[in-house]
Structure 1
């Protein structure tokens, strides 16, 4: 890495950081803002819930695919030009999503939105790394980290409020004015570093071409993986022709991409980065971070709506206190980043997140709003310590010309990790519901004294109210109580598994180097 800022030297680097963070916030926001609006989209476009879920899946697939091409395209055409082009595509596609007239048109525009968003996040980190000197990068990444970690929290709250009070269309239209403002400020503030300009001219003179084959192999693997992870449970996994087909295609692409990418002079994805223990450790930890962030952001609002009758707005608000804690912790983490080794920051953050997951395993029927809010506050306190440390540590020991590649792969890990986390959580929920259902039903036996007493008391209660078949109402009430208990226990198992995932990050963090490594030559 360079020892002094080059990009934006004539401009205030903090102004650049704010603009970059704004664009990143807008992009990451769309990974969760549509989640709480799916039932509104389903009703508005007259499609089933499973079809509406592709609104989320299509964005993730396109986003992951775009990440594989962002590094080369940024080098070949300039970071500023490519970043602004990505924001432009994202903004236009967002507006188009808001005016979509059918599911097919919405999915098409959502794919375009994902392609635009996939080019924004990795370049944001590279721009910040060039705009700030090494001793200030921790604070700059803290501001960037606020956008990454808080946006998924704001997404459900904002999406729920817009859906409840305005229209689901505004979950997408809201990006329009934000994107226009960001573009105007980028045109004024951003400029490519001297090293980036020299690299662009060198690529032109040498006639270096984009690795189309490598890109297609990686894109095919990532796209197939996203489809399998997101649709596997809904399609009953390998009993589905769709899942078998995409698994076969993804496996073939995975096998072929390694020999191709490792033998190219200018590969679409630089797999040599993963040979570094430092970078590989950061990559794996970011997988876990994405899994925890996206899973908790989805399942906490889901459980309060399903079991506690919260509106979409109130469900989103249950995450808001955690967002406030995250912002505060980002500031603290930024100050500590240059003083405390990354591995201790990550281990501490993972331990705090584990406490939050353990807190959620004490879930019960009378849990209050602040029960869920406080659990999210624990997670919000731990995530900045983990996220910021990974972001900074991933650049240690890599060449300056590998900055964009490193950033793209770290962001790819966050997206893929999020999909894996949601997939694991959904499967745990489904299988544990079946398990608990089987065990509880064993006790619903006419010969069971406990069941007889419960049935008698319930029948008497309904008879006292009047209104007909008290015995039938009592049986229905007991069945509902059983189903409710099954769901509670299944969610507790989900949070227990997520807690194990966060706890596993603690020993993994110890692999990271304590001191800065010298850049590779």
Structure 2
């Protein structure tokens, strides 16, 4: 998109009209979409009974949304050029609200899957478009503060989602998990229709083969990651087929775009070193953010016996830590080397995971809250500076495509992270249980004395011991997962050496085009 778009969004002094209202509107749309990545998870058991679905079928409610959103995310840049950024944003938000209402009224599993597919297709553009708009309506000097606002919605949404979903399901029913999008979406739409400036359209050919190959890669990979645990991974021909399709699609896509004019994604975008490193790091951040959120609720509910609402309250300080770091980092960007902020955030995140590796079944909520606040602070310090640094040296015309890739890699990282920790958890529980059971025999004096102290009949004693062994085996497995996530976090630190701080030219005075 050309710089000629500036007059459409900015006045003669370069100040964007109604910038605050634009920001509120697009962030409401972003939060609405991000919430839906986790809010429906806790409602699945209730949906299963209402829709008459089997255990392995109800997961398609999540899978259909994730796959549709992942496939449509990379095409956001092309659509925004063809339709206009404003028009695409409004159409996507409106479609998302309509799809949400349809999901709430669904009467069968097939209807729900179709409506969730439509919801994913419409919601895919909301996050990258919101990031692009915030970058466009703010000067380079204000990008740090803008990304702090954007990052707050992206980071806090998944944390609040399970809590809000659990409360809505218990207080009303599972349908309100989708109906809640109506008031949020209507406010967002009203603000965008009234205040979001128009942008010029740019005719840009569509690379059907490139899109098809990238979609094949993303769709097959997401199916592989989401279905793997249910079908026993590589013991199933389905997983081999999905992995083969994913590898083939990626290989064909890379060969197709290399040195080709008019490719679906311009390969010149990958010559920006900061963007490439940021894409790798946001992949890691995605793994840590949602993998941790996937582990903690079942651990708190199944091992420590916390109710759903209490689980949400215990996890809430994580979001508070994120909000605090967002506020602080917005003021520090531009004054402190961005790479130093990211390094501090990674180290705080690693520290929180180290604290989590000390969890036990005898603990109270204090270690969970403390480690959650530390991790929230760390992830906030990583996410905002990384979002800013990724676009600091990038040509403005590449922003829509780059924002799409940024969101795509974050989502794929989340899927990969959840799959890795889930596989490791199930595998380690079996191993830990076998090792613990091996010590429970009449020749172990500690075992015989513990059994004698219980003073119960044999059946009750064995049932209690089995329960304790299972809980201990599971907690050790969770701790092992937290250690693995800590190692992954530390492995991302050396990537900072390859990133460069924007030069004086990148931060030159003057206002960037408001809608480029």
Q: TM class by shorter-chain length?
A: over 0.9
Gap change, CA 1:6 and 1:452, over 3 Å in 2: farther
Establish whether residue 122 from structure 1 lines up as the match of residue 128 from structure 2: yes
Gap change, CA 1:281 and 1:3, over 3 Å in 2: farther
The partner residue of 1:414 within 410, 416, 427 is: 410
Gap change, CA 1:336 and 1:7, over 3 Å in 2: farther
Question: Does the residue aligned with 2:190 lie in a helix, a strand or coil?
Answer: helix
Distance in 2 of aligned mates of 1:517 and 1:28: 35
**Pairs within 5 Å for 1:15-414:** 15-193=21-199, 197=200, 200-201=201-202, 203=203, 208-414=204-410
Distance in 2 of aligned mates of 1:252 and 1:295: 27
Gap change, CA 1:242 and 1:135, over 3 Å in 2: same
- Please say which of residues 438-447 and 108-117 is displaced more in the overlay: 438-447
TM-score, length-scaled by structure 1 = 0.92
Kept in 2: contact 1:350–1:386 (CA 8 A): yes
**Structure 1 portions without partners, runs of 5+:** 463-469
Distance in 2 of aligned mates of 1:516 and 1:114: 39
Deviation per residue, 1:233-285 (Å, 9 max, x gap) = 22111111221221121121111111212244222223442343211110010
Kept in 2: contact 1:397–1:517 (CA 8 A): no
Establish whether residue 481 from structure 1 lines up as the match of residue 468 from structure 2: yes
Distance in 1 of aligned mates of 2:108 and 2:265: 35
- Please say which of residues 487-496 and 439-448 is displaced more in the overlay: 439-448
Distance in 2 of aligned mates of 1:516 and 1:157: 43
Gap change, CA 1:3 and 1:214, over 3 Å in 2: closer
Q: Which residue of 1 aligns with 2:512?
A: none
- Please say which of residues 210-219 and 272-281 is displaced more in the overlay: 272-281
Kept in 2: contact 1:396–1:516 (CA 8 A): no
- Please say which of residues 36-45 and 342-351 is displaced more in the overlay: 36-45
Kept in 2: contact 1:122–1:404 (CA 8 A): yes
Higher relative contact order (CA 8 A, sep 6+): 2
Kept in 2: contact 1:5–1:131 (CA 8 A): no
Kept in 2: contact 1:295–1:422 (CA 8 A): yes
1:5 Cα deviation (Å)?
6.5
1:96 Cα deviation (Å)?
0.7
1:37 Cα deviation (Å)?
1.4
Deviation per residue, 1:358-382 (Å, 9 max, x gap) = 1111111222233322221111111
Question: Does the residue aligned with 2:392 lie in a helix, a strand or coil?
Answer: coil
Distance in 2 of aligned mates of 1:518 and 1:235: 53
1:401 Cα deviation (Å)?
1.0
Question: Does the residue aligned with 1:274 lie in a helix, a strand or coil?
Answer: helix
1:41 Cα deviation (Å)?
1.6
TM-score, length-scaled by structure 2 = 0.93
Deviation per residue, 1:485-504 (Å, 9 max, x gap) = 10110011111111112222
**Structure 2 portions without partners, runs of 5+:** 11-15, 507-516
Kept in 2: contact 1:29–1:154 (CA 8 A): yes
Q: Which residue of 2 aligns with 1:466?
A: none
Distance in 1 of aligned mates of 2:101 and 2:254: 38
Provide the aligned C-alpha RMSD in A.
Answer: 1.9
Q: Which residue of 2 aligns with 1:465?
A: none
Deviation per residue, 1:443-476 (Å, 9 max, x gap) = 1223333322222223x2x2xxxxxxx0121122
Kept in 1: contact 2:392–2:502 (CA 8 A): no
Gap change, CA 1:362 and 1:5, over 3 Å in 2: farther
Q: Which residue of 2 aligns with 1:506?
A: 493
Establish whether residue 444 from structure 1 lines up as the match of residue 450 from structure 2: no
1:51 Cα deviation (Å)?
2.1
1:423 Cα deviation (Å)?
0.8
Gap change, CA 1:414 and 1:516, over 3 Å in 2: farther
Greater than 3 Å deviation, 4+ residue runs: 1-8, 515-519
Q: Which residue of 2 aligns with 1:491?
A: 478
Distance in 1 of aligned mates of 2:352 and 2:322: 14
1:343 Cα deviation (Å)?
1.3
1:169 Cα deviation (Å)?
0.7
Gap change, CA 1:275 and 1:49, over 3 Å in 2: farther
1:38 Cα deviation (Å)?
1.6
- Please say which of residues 146-155 and 323-332 is displaced more in the overlay: 323-332
Distance in 2 of aligned mates of 1:211 and 1:93: 28
Kept in 2: contact 1:344–1:510 (CA 8 A): no
Total equivalences in the alignment: 500
